[in-house]
Amino acid sequence: MLRCYAGAGSDVVVKNASIAKNDHMTKSSPQDIHHRIVELEVEHRDLDAVIETLIRDGRHEELQLRRLKKRKLQLKDNITLLKMQLVPDIPA
């Protein structure tokens, strides 16, 4: 879950309530994997909206923006890895 709020000096603060590292490394049921994919996709969209807002307003620090973009890429990678888990292996 991504939470955004205005901090001191109108800075936008992004807090991630569900940082999940190595989502692709855990063994879970397909339903659990699908649920996690949906959660990560929502967080990815929220983060995209925050990045767009910061860029549009022009009131952002480059370091903050780079970190947000890096997190967005990490989310996309995790989503891709989880989706790969849902595809059954095809025997050669």
Question: 43-52, pLDDT tens digit by residue?
Answer: 999 999 999 9
> 30-57 and 62-86 are packed helices; what angle lies between their axes, rounded to 10 degrees?
160
Written as six digits, the tokens of 38 are: 């949906």
The domain ranges of the chain are 2-84
CB 14 within 8 A of CB 31: no
pLDDT of 89: 82
pLDDT along the chain (92 residues), means of 10: 45 49 62 97 97 89 95 98 90 73
Nearest alpha-carbon partner for 22 in 73, 84, 78:
78
Say which amino acid occupies 10. S
Nearest alpha-carbon partner for 20 in 4, 3, 51, 43:
43
pLDDT of 33: 96
